[in-house]
Amino acid sequence: MPGTTTTGNRRRNEERTAMVQLEIENQRPRRWNPLFKWRKYLKIFGSVFLIILACGAVAYASTAAIWYFFEEHLVTPDNSTTSRPKASSRTVTRATRRPTTTVSRHSLTSIEPIEESSPYHPIQERPGPFRIVGFYDSWSKYEIRGRQLQKLTHVIFSALDMNSAGTLSFHDYGIRKKFIDLVEMSKRVNPSLKIMFSIAEYAYASNFEAVVADPEKKKTLCNSIASLIQTHRIDGVDLFWKWPTKVENRDLFVLLLRDIRQKLNSISDSDHQYILSVVLPNFDWPDFKLSLDLNGIMEQVDFINVRTINYYGFWNSQWGAYTGPPSPLYSGLGAYGDSNVNWTITHYMNETGAPGKLNMGVPFFGAHWENVEGPIGVKEEMWFTAKAKTGEETFEGEYIPWREMEGWNLSAAKWHQESRCPFIWLPDERKFLGFENQRSLKEKMKYALEKSLGGITIWSVEMDDDSDTLLNSVQV
Ligand SMILES: *[C@@H]1O[C@H](CO)[C@@H](O)[C@H](O)[C@H]1NC(C)=O
Ligand SMILES: *[C@@H]1O[C@H](CO)[C@@H](O)[C@H](O)[C@H]1NC(C)=O
Ligand SMILES: *[C@@H]1O[C@H](CO)[C@@H](O)[C@H](O)[C@H]1NC(C)=O
Ligand SMILES: *[C@@H]1O[C@H](CO)[C@@H](O)[C@H](O)[C@H]1NC(C)=O
């Protein structure tokens, strides 16, 4: 029967097709099967990954856009400079480790004519409480905290870039963010805190010499300072030229300070007096006497941060690297006899007759040396020499922030009465640590108050531990 045959053929055909399919299935290598099983999950993972990637791209793009927008459009660029500032070359000094990033940045200056006719008024000493000024290093891996800001009268953000045209800017996005955060937090936790920023020659502002010598550049700098202060509603600027050792710069530095002073006066009103300060060195070598007009500077600034730190470090002398505390209050040996805080401060007081304008620098760090040899001169466990690495000029040692001293047994430290400082000497390991602690800081505070100094300046606040151990030792 044709119908039956057709049906039978169809069924056979279907069976054959099914068998062929089964064979094909069977012939597929078994190792593929797990993949099929997991394909669903792989798809999900893939999608999630793509979504994350897309979110990242959007976040990056918007951050870049905001950054660009702020830099280029919200702040009027200064058209007196033709090119964008280049990352200023920085000299790594022995004092602090520096960041190594060189990210390009943009101008922050707005144009504002300088009032050439504004009269010059010598600045009166600022009446007020004992100043506790804290430098805050923006390149530090530690951030300043609100409780620390409550224990300061002034905070100085260190540091902004100054290019060779005198234009100020933030070195990179991270530093700008730290600055914005500092300003925001300061206003929230301590409304009476004075917020300043530093222009530091050894950090991002190696162009002091070019700027002081050129009226246009000075004008740009003055406008840039005023613009920054007004934009962020902060209180002032600190200049840290390390150091003007050329005689030609003696008057130029004072004139620069005078111009900045005039600019600050021109934007001041009865509610807002802006602050100008400088950092000056801890001793007076012959060049320095000729190149710094101390009294000329004094007339322009509100206060001087005397850098009474780093008396001893890993540099060469005729004896090698001379160990000692970073900031001895008194004493010293041989050629270092005057290398102490008392000598420096007495000298500044003698020269200026204005202790109320002087801030005494205090370190929140120590200095450690390796390869330390025998004591110098008399047998006293403070002054040693350290040997350089064989065949090299560099010494092994480093500056250690107070909060990083956990590797040293601080309770085993000895007290050196002459210098009023603690130290640790490990003869077996030939290691020496000179540092500052609660006791030495209390001695320094007593000294500063006895001499009627205007205050102290801390290098730098973020080096303190989480319990504010050192900051609590310098409260009045
Ligand atoms: C900067 O721009 C302003 C306004 O466009 C102009 O008046 C001024 O001359 C410009 N300055 C320079 C130095 O080009
Ligand atoms: C502090 O320095 C002054 C001036 O150099 C000096 O006369 C005085 O003796 C010093 N004080 C101490 C305790 O060394
Ligand atoms: C400060 O002046 C006093 C008195 O004139 C003098 O004895 C002392 O040596 C001076 N010290 C310094 C460091 O200039
Ligand atoms: C630290 O020094 C103190 C005082 O010398 C000593 O008693 C203590 O055992 C030392 N601690 C350590 C961990 O070495």
- Per-residue pLDDT reduced to its tens digit, 169-195: 999 999 999 999 999 999 999 999 999
* Whether residue 343 has its Cβ less than 6 Å from ligand 2: yes
Band of residue 196 on the pLDDT scale cut at 50, 70, 90: very high
Nearest CA to ligand 1 atom 3: 79
pLDDT higher for 12 or 458? 458
Q: pLDDT tens digits for 150-176?
A: 999 999 999 999 999 999 999 999 999
What per-residue confidence (pLDDT) applies to 77?
Answer: 33
Q: Whose CA is nearest to atom 4 of ligand 3?
A: 350
What is the tens place of the pLDDT at every residue in 84-141?
333 333 322 333 333 333 333 333 333 333 333 333 334 444 457 999 999 999 999 9
Closest by Cα among 344, 322, 326, 345 to 335: 322
Residue of 333, 338, 343, 450 best suited for mutating to test ligand 2, as the one with most atoms within 8 Å of CB: 343
Question: CATH classification of 114-119+128-364+436-473 is 3.40.50.2300, yes or no?
Answer: no
Domain ranges of the chain: 114-119+128-364+436-473
Which tokens hold the place of 109? 């200056």
Residue 392 has pLDDT above 60, yes or no: yes
Distance, CA of 314 to chain centre: 21
**Whether the CB of 102 sits within 6 Å of ligand 1:** no
Angle between helices 249-267 and 215-232 (to 10 degrees): 40
Tokens of 438: 């609660």
Residue 354: alpha-carbon gap to chain centroid: 29
Closest ligand to 283 CA?
A: 3
pLDDT for the residue numbered 39: 76
C-alpha dihedral sign at 433, 439, 441, 443: negative
Ligand nearest the Cα of residue 329 is 2
End-to-end Cα distance, the chain: 118
Of residues 460 and 393, more confidence is placed in 460
Instruction: Say yes or no: CB of residue 153 within 6 Å of ligand 1.
Output: no
Given ligand 2 and candidates 308, 330, 347, which is best to mutate, with the most ligand atoms within 8 Å of its CB?
Answer: 330
Q: Which ligand is nearest to the CA of 424?
A: 4
Helix ranges, 130-275 (H): 146-149, 173-189, 208-212, 215-232, 249-267
Out of 52-61, 142-151, 158-167, 362-371, pick the least confident.
52-61
Which residue is associated with the tokens 């602050």?
A: 275
CB 342 near ligand 2, within 6 Å: yes
**Ligand 3 pocket test target in 285, 338, 348, 350 with most atoms within 8 Å of CB:** 350
303 neighbors 257 (Cβ within 8 angstroms): no
pLDDT value of position 383: 83
Measured distance CA(52)–CA(31) in Å, rounded = 31
More confident residue, 36 or 446: 446
How far is the C-alpha of 349 from the C-alpha of 118, rounded, in Å? 31
Atom of ligand 2 nearest to the CA of 330: 14
- Who's near 118: CB < 8 A, 6+ residues apart? 262, 265, 266
Angstrom distance (rounded) from CA 298 to CA 165:
26
243 vs 282: CA distance, rounded Å:
11
% of the chain with per-residue pLDDT over 70 = 74
What's the mean pLDDT in 429-442? Answer: 95
Kindly state the average pLDDT of the residues 263-284: 92
**Distance from residue 79's CA to the centre of ligand 1 (Å):** 6
> Whose atoms come closest to the Cα of 414: which ligand?
4
CA 328 – CA 187 distance, rounded (Å): 35
Is residue 65 scored above 50 in pLDDT?
A: yes
Q: What is the pLDDT of residue 395?
A: 75
The pTM of the full predicted model, rounded to 2 decimals, is 0.74
Of 464, 469, 460, nearest to 97 by C-alpha is 460
Which residue's CA is minimally distant from atom 12 of ligand 2? Answer: 330
Lowest mean pLDDT across 33-42, 282-291, 362-371 = 33-42
Q: From CA 424, how far away is CA 412, in angstroms rounded?
A: 7
Q: What is the pLDDT of residue 18?
A: 56
**How far is the centre of ligand 3, averaged over its atoms, from the C-alpha of 389 (Å)?**
40
CA of 114 relative to ligand 1 center, distance in Å: 14
459 C-beta closer than 6 A to ligand 2: no
The per-residue pLDDT of the chain, averaged, comes to 81
pLDDT bucket at 319, cuts 50 / 70 / 90: low
| Ligand nearest, relative to CA of residue 112 | 1
pLDDT in tens, 215-267: 999 999 999 999 999 999 999 999 999 888 889 999 999 999 999 999 999 99
